[in-house]
Chain A
Amino acid sequence: MRYSIVTLLAAALPLGAQQITFPPALEKLSAKATQKVNISLDTSLLGFAGQLMSEKDPDEAIAKRLLSGLKAIHIRGFEFAKAGEYSQADVAAIREQFKGPGWNCFFTVEGKEQSTHICLHRQGDAITGLGLLAAEPTELTVVNIIGSIRPEDLATLSGKFGIPQIKGEVKTLLERKAAPAPKKE
């Protein structure tokens, strides 16, 4: 009973730790960018979008299924004419948030000029958020998907929308990452 009350309260709470805060410096990068993508979709907009997606279109049907559990999608993408338009501090401000409670980065590559982080936010057994930070010399992309993401949905997405096909081991890895960490005795 106590568990269900906690679960209900958690569901009723506003978007919390799984929501990435875009620092003001990042928002200002759009002035320097040659191309920019700014997507902020809340629950109601995702609902509208879902209603307009057709079950007959295979891509839309998959997206519709994914959207049913999502609360928000936030994306900031910038493409610059030359390297060095954004600072490492801008990237660090995002990266630090992936170290917060519930976040678990299962893919991290950090180089001198580029870095990629793919992280999942977990609440109990469920994946409740996905964060992606891709910093390249002339490109910076931050993706924050908030809401219930089922590993089977991720598997369905593989091979669609340019997403690579996920092999069995990675699917298992995702499921393992989604599972709660074993308790230490």
Chain B
Amino acid sequence: MSRLEDELRQALRRREPPAGFAERVLARAHPRESRRPSWFHWRWLAAAAALMVLVVGLYFFEERRRRLEGERAKQQVMLALHLTGSKLRLAQQRIQRFIGPGAAFQD
């Protein structure tokens, strides 16, 4: 038992670190300390999220603009057809005046 105790004591005895050990440990630890803090990642994430919101917003804005433009174009097409129709009707009335009803178009 005493032999075991002796061996343990021998193994666990206080030993002085080799020369320069503290400096080496500090030198290795230094790069970790100089790493970016955790808030830096959040900043990038916030920027990416803001960019995504901007892109999605622009997409929906462009879609809305195109839709409004399309609606306006649709109204103009309908107006164009009605206007052309009214002028063709006028032409029909002139034909009827000249050569009698039912000559070219029919109501």
Contact = CB atoms under 8 A, between A and B. Distances in A.
Interface in B22-80: 66-67, 69-71, 73-74, 76-80
Interface of chain A, helix or strand or loop or mixed?
A: mixed
Interface of B: 66-67, 69-71, 73-74, 76-92, 94-95, 98, 102, 104-107
Contacts of A49: 70, 73-74, 76-77
Contacts of A63: 77-78, 81
Contact of A167 (B86, B90, B106): B106
6 contacts: A49-B77, A118-B91, A161-B84, A164-B88, A166-B105, A167-B106
Contacts of B71: 52
A53 B79 CA distance: 14
A109 B103 CA distance: 15
A145 interface: yes
Interface in A21-59: 37, 39, 41, 45-46, 48-49, 51-53, 59
B102 A52 contact: no
B40 to A, nearest CB: 46
A165 B77 contact: no
A75 interface: yes
Interface of A: 37, 39, 41, 45-46, 48-49, 51-53, 59-60, 63, 66-67, 73, 75, 77, 107, 109, 116, 118, 132, 134, 141, 143, 145, 157-158, 160-167, 169-170
Nearest to B67: A52
A162 B86 contact: yes
Nearest to A118: B91
Contacts of A141: 83, 87
Given A107-B91, A109-B94, 18 more contacts: A37-B79, A39-B76, A41-B73, A46-B73, A48-B66, A48-B74, A49-B70, A75-B83, A107-B95, A109-B95, A116-B87, A143-B83, A145-B80, A160-B81, A161-B78, A161-B84, A162-B85, A166-B105
A145 B76 CA distance: 13
Contacts of B70: 45, 48-49, 51-52
Given A37-B79, A52-B70, A75-B80, A170 B85 contact: no
Nearest to B97: A109
Given A39-B80, A48-B66, A143 B87 contact: yes
B18 to A, nearest CB: 79
Instruction: List 10 A-B pairs, minimum CB-CB distance, nearest first.
Output: A48-B70, A162-B85, A164-B105, A163-B85, A49-B73, A161-B85, A161-B81, A49-B74, A45-B73, A164-B92
